[in-house]
Each structure stands twice: as C-alpha cells, then as structure tokens.
Structure 1
Amino acid sequence: MFSIVEAIRERATPEAVALVQKDRTLNYQDLFKQSDAMADAIRQHAPRDASRPDRLRIGVHFPSSLDYVPLALATLTAGACFVPIPDELAEEEKRDLATRTALDYVLVSEPLATWLPEGSVKVGEFTLAEQKVQIQRLPAATTNFPVADFEGINPAFIRFSSGTTGKSKGVLLSHESLLERITSANEGLQIGPGDRVLWVLPMAHHFAVSIVLYLYHGATTIIEETHLGEDLLRAGAEQKATVMYGSPVHYRQLVEAPPVGEWTALRLAVATAAALDAATAEKFRTRFGRDLVQGLGIIELGLPVLNLTGAQEAPEAIGLPLSAYECLLKDDSGKEPPQGEAGEICLRGKGMFDAYLDPWMLRAQVVDAEGWFATGDLGKRDSAGRVTICGRKKTLINVGGMKVFPEEVERIIDSHPKVQRSLVEARVHALYGEVPIVRYIPSPEGAPTTMELRNHCRAHLAGYKIPLIFTVTQELPLTASGKLKRA
C-alpha cells in the first residue's frame, strides 16, 4: 500500500539538510533514522489490533519545532493515521477532538499531558530532544464513522477545519491525495533541493501541504521559534532563506523590522491564512525587491490558487488557479456572476480531501454532480480573471439590501497604524435590518479616537460599510489556527 513517507525516503539525498532550528541541523538520513526508531517504539507499545479492520489513529501533541517532524513521520511509518493536536486548544477541546476521531493513542510531551481523558494509561515512553514523550492509550471510544470505509481510503492524516462559523469538521486525507496535492501545489511554488524555506506557521495546522511538500521535493526547512519581525529578518538573512510561507501578520512585522540583516537570497514570499492588505504588499516590495504573493490555502484542497502573475497589479487578489485546478464563481442562481460582482468560490482538481470524518461524508457526497467543491468564500473576478476574496457567505451583512463583507471592512480598519486587529459583525437594526459594528485591539502606542477611525474608513469605504459602533477590546475570539472566530 502506498506510503507518502516511503515516497519521500526514496527521493531524498541522505546527506542533504532537511531541517534547521537555530544551531541544530538534521539531514535526511538522520531524519529517517530518528523517525524509524520512534516508529519501532510505537509498534512495540501501541500495536495494531489484528481483529479490527481499520488502522490505529494516533494523535501527536508536541511543541512546534524541528523535533515535531520526525515524530509525525514516525506515526505514519508505524502504519497509523496521523492526527495533529494543536496546543492552542483548550483542554476540553482537545478531549473533544480525541473523542470525535476515536483516537487510540496519543504521543504527548510530558508537560502537555494534563488534558488526557480519564482512564488514559501510559503504556510506554521515549526521549526526543531531551523531552519525554509518553505513549498514552486512550479509553475506547465509539466510532461515529464506518471503519471499513475509513480504512479503504488508506488514511494518512486527519485535521479539523478552523470552525470560523460553526463546528469544525474532521478533514481526512489519504496518502495518495496527499501526494497529489503537494505535487500540484509545487507546479506553482517550484520548490526544489536548492530551496531553504523559512517556516513560521504552527506544525499542527500546516504540516500536510507544507512540511510534507518541502520534504518530498528535497528542500531545507528553517524553523524560526518567534514571530517577531526582527527575528524573522535575521533568520532569513543568516540562513539564506529562498522561500517564506507565512501569514500577513508575519509580513506586517517583517516590513517594520529594524535593519538587522540583508535578506538577498529570497526568491518567493507567499502570504496565506488571512487577507493580505495592499499597504503591506507595497512595503514588502519596496524593502525586499520581491512581490508578496497571496494564495488560497484550504485544508480541503491544499493550495489551489496563487497570485503568481498579478501581485503588483492586484496584491489583494488570491490570483488564478494553478494548472491542476479550476475555479468557478457561482451566484445564488448557480451561474457565474458578471465581472466585479461576488459569487461563491467553487474549486475542483487534484488532491481534494477524501472524506469528512464527523459527520462522515465521502468526497462524492460533498461536491456537486460536476465535482465542484463549494468553499463558502465569496469572491469576485477582475478583468484578468484574478479572484479576490470578499468574505464568507455566512458572514455577509445585509444593510438595507446592500452587501457588506466584514473582511473588507476589517482590512481597512487593520491598516490604521493604531489598530492591531479588528472583528466586524452584524447588529440588528430597526430600519436597515442589519448594520456593521466593530471590536478592535489597539496598538501598544494607544487607541485611535472614534473620529479618526471613521475618517479612515470614509476615505476607503462607502458610507453604508462604515461600522456604526467602534469598541476597543484587549482580545478577540480566535480559532486554534489563529483565524477570527465569528458568531
């Protein structure tokens, strides 16, 4: 049966450097030596029950670091389905994830083991980078999905979607789909053995289409421990990074960083996970002499859309679909709307997810009759065919029949120098039906006045899009992957 880990192993150059973190390096040969040793420990202490038809589901709860990578590979090498457990989740959410995936075992760093369900039993442990990793057997859980169908997929990976507007779903990927999506995405990224990728995202959220892609194509992944712009710049310069893949938050900090190094090796910078603003893109181009390329990263498909050719003309666009994908916009009647008008972004192509775990739905039950997957994102096309995301279909605010996309308003408010981040929501209004209101986190230097924010919005937005109420807050509700959590 096909294994993505074995595919990586077959292509790897043993002495080539796979991972870097500060003064530590790990070449491909040692990476597999470590993962194989841990896979042996997993097989010894967490053996598969020969009487059951499906493979084990093993959670990994470990700090995002160089050592996370061989641990995740060991899970797959041992023949299990890998289930990352984000550290950002509350303990109750971690237990819920374990229940919904019917986890058999968890590999957990000793200090992080406090959340484990009652009845968990430590059946073994091993040492990884001077940290004790416990192998915990979880109490038997009821599977709410057909185990024979689950096993028939050749499952490699389960990750829960962000759950920005409701309960998250477990997205299931097979080894084959994982290979399809990383090779399809790389038709645009063009990552190869000569690349050194600066890594700034959490492993538990971006492992499948990112780390696996870099390993498969023989690149070096440089893991930076902090998200401060100064540290990112220093790491990029000193490590001669050629690629960076991060969120707009990372790039906003990077463009304002003091001049602690000259980052001249950079060839490609990709922004994903949240909307990119034009001001940050322009500052990045001015400082580094490279376009900041926005893409659409989506757990159901990987990286199907990338703004490789339009980053200067339309920096806020996610761009055009890569060659392995097609993109269609659909209005409420199911037809492509006129240029410049919004429609739901629908995608199809290689490496699409195989099933939703909870509730169980095979891919064929989710896509339409022609194979289109409806993303829930609303977008519009420009004259070049590039797509720009307007917002989420479920979060659209209807102001007297006029459409307001919260994400558009947030992008403007977030561009104010005294605002760190904002969340725009709807409030019921007797006359207009709904009106937008906003909560925002001020910058450390202090909050802007309401009049300053209103004037800033007025310069960029139509009047009906300007929030009726501006409220200062010290925190906003976020999903485990750092996206805004909407009611």
Structure 2
Amino acid sequence: MNLTELLEATARRWPQKLAIVEDGVVLSYGGLAQQVCELAQQIGSLNTGASSRIGLAFPNGIAYVALTFALWRLNVVVVPVPSDCPEEEIAEIGVAMQLSGMLTPKPRGASVAVAPDCYFTKLNPSKPPDNHGLNLAFIRFTSGTTSARKGVALSHETIRDRILSANKAFRITADDTVIWCLPMAHHFLITVVLYIEVGATIVLARHVTAKPFLEAVNRWKGTVLYAAPFHFSMWARDYSAVQIPSVRLAISTTCALPQDVANDFFKRFNLVLAQGLGVIELGLVALNTPAPGGRWNSVGRGAGDFQVRVVNPDAEGCGELAVRGPGIFDAYVAPWVSREEVLCDGWFYTGDIGRIDEDGFLFLLSRKTAVINLAGRKVFPEEIEAVINRYPAVGESRVYGQLHPHLGETVEAEVVLSSPDAKLDTIHAFCREHLASYKIPTRFTIVAALPRTPVTGKIRRAAPVA
C-alpha cells in the first residue's frame, strides 16, 4: 500500500475539483496529481533510492503537499524538518535520521535545482538506514514517553488506518472546505492526508490575524477550522460585525483549550469549539464534539475506534492514561524500538495524568513528561539545555514550560553562571545562533543552584512557583 493511491483515487474521481488554494493560486486534484508525478520524476532522476530517508524543510504551501506525495511515490521516507531550523540543527537531524538528502526552498551548498524554488542537497549517511522491513512513509521527532528526543516511524498502512479512524470523529467529506493555518511540519497526517483522501478543499491561510483570516473564510465559504487556542482567541477578539456562517466545525488542538477562549469564541461567532487530543504516536485519540455539555476543559471521548483508560487510579480517579486503537506508530527511531516493545498488552502508556468522568469524557490534568507544548510545537528541554550549557560562562541550566493562557506554554530557562561577568543578553544571542526561533527561551533567570530531587539529585522539571 502507498498513500499516493489515496490522492490518485481522488484525482480520478474528481479531476477538476478544487484541491488546494494558496495566495490566489488554485490547484485541482487532477493538477495536484500531475504535479506530484512530475516532481517524482525529477527527484527520481537523482537516484535517491527506495526506502531512503529525505528531509523536507519547506514552509506551508502547495509545494509541501506535492513534495511529500512525490517522495512517497518513490517509496522514500519523508522526515519533516521545520523550515526555520538553523543549519546546526538540520545537520544534527541529518545524522540522527541517516538522511540521504534534503529538500529546501533555497540552495544549500552543492544543491541541485529540482523545480522552481526547490533544491535537493545530497547527504551521505554513514550507513544505509535500516527500516526493519517496514513500509515506512514518515518519521517525525517527538518526546516519546521519556522526553528523550527520538523519531516516530509510521508506515503507509499505519497512516491509512489512523486517518480512517480519525474521520469517524471528524466526518470530513468532499463538500468541506478546510481553512488551514497550522505548521505542516508538525500537523499533516491525520489532517491534510485525510482531507485529500475524502476530496475536501484546503485553503492555506497566509494571514491568521482576524480581519484577513475571516475574509478568507467567507471568500472560500470555509466549513472547517482546525487551529490552536491562540488562533481562536485572536479571532474572538475581532470587534467587527463579520460572521462566518459557513463554518460547521471548529476544532481546537495543540494544547489545552482555556474556558475563556471557548466562551469568547462562542459569544463572538455562536460556534462551539470542539477540542481534540492528537498524539504523534497514536493519531487522533479523543475529540470533544460540538455538544460538550459544559465540559469545556475535556478533550472528549475516545475518537473513532480508540479506547482510553486510566491505569492505577487514585481515590479521585486520577492516574496515567493508556490508549489502544488503530494506527499506533510502528517504531521509535534512533535508537530503534519496535511498537511491540513499547506497548503493554496492546496499550500505549501516554505519560499523561488524567481522569475519565461517569459519561466517558477525558480530562487531562498534568504531564509526566517534560516536553513543552508551544502553540502546537513540541519543544524538548534537554535539547535547549545542551545549547545553553555550551556557552562558556554557563555552568548548568534548566529549561521548563511556563503556562500561557493562549499558547499553552512558553519556554523559560534558569541558568547557573560559572563567570560572574556573564550577561543574559549574550546568552540569548548565543541561543539565536544555534536554535530555531520558537525554541529560544522568552525569559532567562540567573539562580545560585538548580532545584533537584532529594533522593536522585535529578533536575526538577516543574516551573517555579510564582
């Protein structure tokens, strides 16, 4: 099975139907399928090799979608790389993932033009990657269950299974027009691939501020909004008289939905926000449908064919959440750990603490892992600490997530200086050289010592109490 079969089937059924809109450029499903074929031919001429892994460092756009499907057509494994990654991080991902090449919108070193504004840079992994006989389609970095940075490997079959399950909850059809604004490097499989499988239209919103975004919704008669809480908060604060009557489903994802955002959005547009819980290892785990019965802070019931349970609940019913269902990831990469080695009797332990009420609604209470969720992007503290600790005047550091009402969390850091003459602005400048912009701490605090656990001496991950 290959996911390009989904696009080809849709293109055969509706060749003239609108597939993607970007900055006034309109592409039909027939046109998208043709573009994928042409790109696959160009990339294939570079002898990339089936089952090789290629990094895709592109911003949102038609090119991102077409290149992903073109690589899949060649049986290449796609490794998404955020487009704002610095060269140092791109090189690190290339080595860890054993990439054979990288596709970028601008030339990098000895790159070759594949298409307008598309360049291929050949890389030389130390040895060919071992996909362990799996029909892999996609590898993306995540925290896993331990907060250690690793790749999550997904096969074509796994992705197909999870989008079929997800759409039992979303109910997206060919009649829908989705207004898209999340980063494709972080959100693609159970959204964009699903939309293409059912023949929906995807409108890529270049501007997410209220006025141009709402105008785009009405211009294209958008029916589905899929965005982060801070997007919905921004749109709810629009004081014009513009309404969006064509929207039937508005889904908040990436982090917990604050009740005031849900209330404000409902008051402004008379639309109830549906909160979803997606996990890269699992897909769409839960969805709070547009009739949550006042449970604004719930992520809903198990979505599609997923089951969720609380393991070893305490007296109040709180415990670690375990999930099972279709489309569970195939393996962790670097190091390779198979799905069978991770699951416990078919259940995936998420590392999150939660409870389930008498009606089956799931509530997330806290995180066992240290991963920071910044407006839909996963940020790993250890990665940032490794950079900060390289600065000559820093003895050690601690990075943590500080709760934010609309972004979910922001990145902050505490540092212990080894030189009293060090300046925080120079540490901040050092981070700008070596980290993607969204990973740079918004606040640095100098401390005499880092908080540690009394028994093991490990660094405490919780944000300091104000």
Please point out which of 124, 128, 140 is paired with 2:125.
140
Q: Which residue of 2 aligns with 1:386?
A: 361
Matched, 1:8 2:4: no
Please point out which of 74, 77, 100 is paired with 1:78.
74
* Alpha-carbon contact 2:18-2:28 (below 8 Å) kept: yes
Q: Which residue of 1 aligns with 2:54?
A: 58
Please point out which of 233, 236, 259 is paired with 2:217.
236
| Secondary structure of the structure 2 residue equivalent to 1:29 | helix
Q: Which residue of 1 aligns with 2:379?
A: none
Deviations 1:138-180 (A, max 9, x none): 023346x6x1xx1521000111115797432100010000100
Quickly say closer, same or farther: Cα 1:55–1:395, change in 2 above 3 A.
closer
Shift of 1:271: 0.7
Which ranges of structure 2 fall in alignment gaps of 5 or more residues?
372-399, 416-439, 445-460
| Secondary structure of the structure 1 residue equivalent to 2:255 | coil
Give the alignment of 1:161-176 within 5 angstroms.
161=142, 166-176=147-157
Deviations 1:395-438 (A, max 9, x none): 59xxxxxxxxx98x936xx37xxx996569999xxxxxxxxxxx
| Secondary structure of the structure 2 residue equivalent to 1:152 | coil
CA distance in 2, matches of 1:165, 1:226: 36
* Alpha-carbon contact 1:19-1:66 (below 8 Å) kept: yes
Shift of 1:241: 0.6
Please point out which of 359, 362, 369 is paired with 2:338.
362
CA distance in 1, matches of 2:414, 2:369: 11
Identify which range, 158-167 or 62-71, moves more after superposition. Answer: 158-167
* Alpha-carbon contact 1:85-1:204 (below 8 Å) kept: yes
Quickly say closer, same or farther: Cα 1:366–1:64, change in 2 above 3 A.
same
CA distance in 2, matches of 1:426, 1:313: 39
Quickly say closer, same or farther: Cα 1:79–1:382, change in 2 above 3 A.
same
CA root-mean-square deviation: 2.8
- Percent identical among aligned pairs is 32
CA distance in 2, matches of 1:394, 1:263: 38
* One-letter amino acid of the counterpart of residue 139, structure 1: N
Quickly say closer, same or farther: Cα 1:277–1:317, change in 2 above 3 A.
same
Deviations 1:1-30 (A, max 9, x none): x11111331133111111012311100000
Give the alignment of 1:328-407 within 5 angstroms.
328-330=309-311, 335-338=312-315, 340-368=316-344, 370-394=345-369
Q: Which residue of 2 aligns with 1:434?
A: none
CA distance in 2, matches of 1:105, 1:177: 24
CA distance in 2, matches of 1:322, 1:138: 40
Q: Which residue of 1 aligns with 2:280?
A: 299
Shift of 1:476: 5.4
| Secondary structure of the structure 1 residue equivalent to 2:188 | helix
| Secondary structure of the structure 1 residue equivalent to 2:218 | helix
Identify which range, 66-75 or 85-94, moves more after superposition. Answer: 85-94
Matched, 1:210 2:185: no
* One-letter amino acid of the counterpart of residue 68, structure 2: A
| Secondary structure of the structure 2 residue equivalent to 1:140 | coil
**How many equivalent pairs are there?**
393
Deviations 1:223-257 (A, max 9, x none): 01133233322221221110011111111111012
Quickly say closer, same or farther: Cα 1:164–1:336, change in 2 above 3 A.
closer
CA distance in 1, matches of 2:293, 2:256: 16
Shift of 1:82: 1.0
Please point out which of 259, 266, 271 is paired with 1:290.
271
Matched, 1:21 2:10: no
CA distance in 2, matches of 1:474, 1:168: 18
CA distance in 2, matches of 1:426, 1:390: 25
Deviations 1:325-378 (A, max 9, x none): 100111xxxx2445x54211110100110010111011000111x211011111
Structure 1-normalised TM-score? 0.75
CA distance in 2, matches of 1:213, 1:8: 10
| Secondary structure of the structure 2 residue equivalent to 1:257 | coil
Give the alignment of 1:95-114 within 5 angstroms.
95-110=91-106, 113=108
CA distance in 2, matches of 1:243, 1:357: 34
Please point out which of 400, 410, 414 is paired with 2:403.
410
CA distance in 2, matches of 1:181, 1:43: 28
